[in-house]
Amino acid sequence: MLDIELLSRHFLAFYFVFIAVHYSSTAMGLVKRTDYSHISYGKKGSATWWVRQTFNFFRALILIVCVARIGFPIDPWLGVIDLLYHPILLSLGMVTLLLSLGFVSYTHAYMRQDWRSGIDSDNQRPLLTKGPFARSRNPMFLAIMLGQLGLFLTLPSVFTLLCLITGVVMIRLQAGKEEVALAALYGEDYQRYQQQVNRWL
C-alpha cells in the first residue's frame, strides 16, 4: 500500500531542490548569454528590495526544512496541524504544486527573452498582453501563490501557513509596485491593458 505521508515528505524535498537548481541555473545561463541580469532587486533598502530579501529568506528556509524532514523528526517544531494532515489533502497538495510548476514554466516559456524578475526600466521590450497575460496581468504571481497553497496542503502546519500568508502579502506588494512602473514605462498602452484585463483573474 502506498504511504502518502512518506511520498509527500520526499516529494517536497525533491520538488524544492529541483526548483532551486532550475531557477539558479536558468538565471546564470541568461547572464552568461546576454551579459545582463534578468533579476532586479531594486534600490537597496527600497520596498521591492525588502520584498525580494523576504522572499529569498523564506525560499531558503522552505528548502532547508523540506530536505531536513527526510532525516530528522522536526515536524513538532513546525506546528503540524493534525486535523489537516490527511492523505487526501497531502495528495491534493502535491497535485497543486505540480500544477503551479506547470503554469510557471508555461508563462516563463511564453515570455522567453522578455522574462524579468523584478522591475526593469527597459521599455524597448514589447508589452505582453496575449497568451497567459490575456487572462491575468500577473499570471506568474498567480502560479507562485498557487504553489504556496500547495506547500501548505502538502505540509499543513503553522510554518507553512506563515509562509503562505507572507508570500501572498509580498506578492501583492510587488505586483502593485511593478504595475506602477509598467504604467510609467508604457503609458496609455498599459492603462488600456489595465482596463481590459484584471490584475489577478
pLDDT bin (cut points 50, 70, 90) of residue 1 is very low
- Residues 1-26 have a mean pLDDT of 89
pLDDT bin (cut points 50, 70, 90) of residue 36 is low
Question: What is the C-alpha separation between 18 and 85, in angstroms, rounded?
Answer: 24
Give the pLDDT confidence score for residue 52 in this predicted structure: 86
**DSSP-H helix ranges across the chain:** 4-34, 47-71, 75-78, 87-111, 139-154, 158-186, 188-196
Nearest C-alpha neighbor of 143 from the set 96, 175, 190: 96
pLDDT at residue 122 greater than cutoff 80: no
Classify 73 as helix, strand or coil: coil
Classify 117 as helix, strand or coil: strand
Give the pLDDT confidence score for residue 79 in this predicted structure: 96
pLDDT at residue 38 greater than cutoff 70: no
Contact 128, 111 (CB under 8 A): yes
Lookup: cell for 31: 547572464
Judged by average pLDDT, the poorest of 10-19, 44-53, 55-64 is 44-53
| Ramachandran sector of residue 90 (left: φ over 0; alpha: ψ -120 to 50; beta: rest) | alpha
Give the pLDDT confidence score for residue 39 in this predicted structure: 64
Contact 42, 119 (CB under 8 A): yes
More confident site: 167 or 22: 167
**What is the percentage of the chain residues whose pLDDT exceeds 70?**
90
pTM reported for the whole predicted model:
0.90
pLDDT at residue 123 greater than cutoff 60: no
pLDDT bin (cut points 50, 70, 90) of residue 127 is confident
Helices and strands: H and E segment counts in the chain: 7, 0
pLDDT at residue 56 greater than cutoff 80: yes
What are 133-189's pLDDT values in tens digits? Answer: 999 999 999 999 999 999 999 999 999 999 999 999 999 999 998 898 888 888 899
Computed over every residue of the chain, the mean pLDDT equals: 89
